[in-house]
Amino acid sequence: GKHRIVIPCLGHFKEEYEKVSKLYMNNKIRTTRYTLLNFLPRNLYEQFHRVANLYFLFLVVLNWVPVVEAFQKEITMLPLIGVLTIIAVKDGLEDYSRYRMDKQINNLVTKVYSR
- Which residues of the chain carry a pLDDT beneath 70? 1-11, 112-115
- pLDDT of res. 65: 85
Please name the helix (run of DSSP H) or strand (run of DSSP E) that holds residue 87, with its range, or none: helix 73-106
Q: What is the pLDDT of residue 8?
A: 61
Distance CA 63, CA 94 (A): 34
Give the whole-angstrom CA distance, residue 93 versus residue 41.
Answer: 16
Give CA separation, 60 vs 20, 52, 55, 91, in Å. Answer: 57, 13, 9, 24
Spatial separation of the C-alpha atoms in residues 70 and 100, rounded to whole Å: 46
Is the full-model pTM beyond 0.85? Answer: no
Question: What pLDDT was estimated at residue 84?
Answer: 95
Rounded CA gap, 60 and 76, in Å? Answer: 6
What are the structural domain ranges in the chain? 33-107
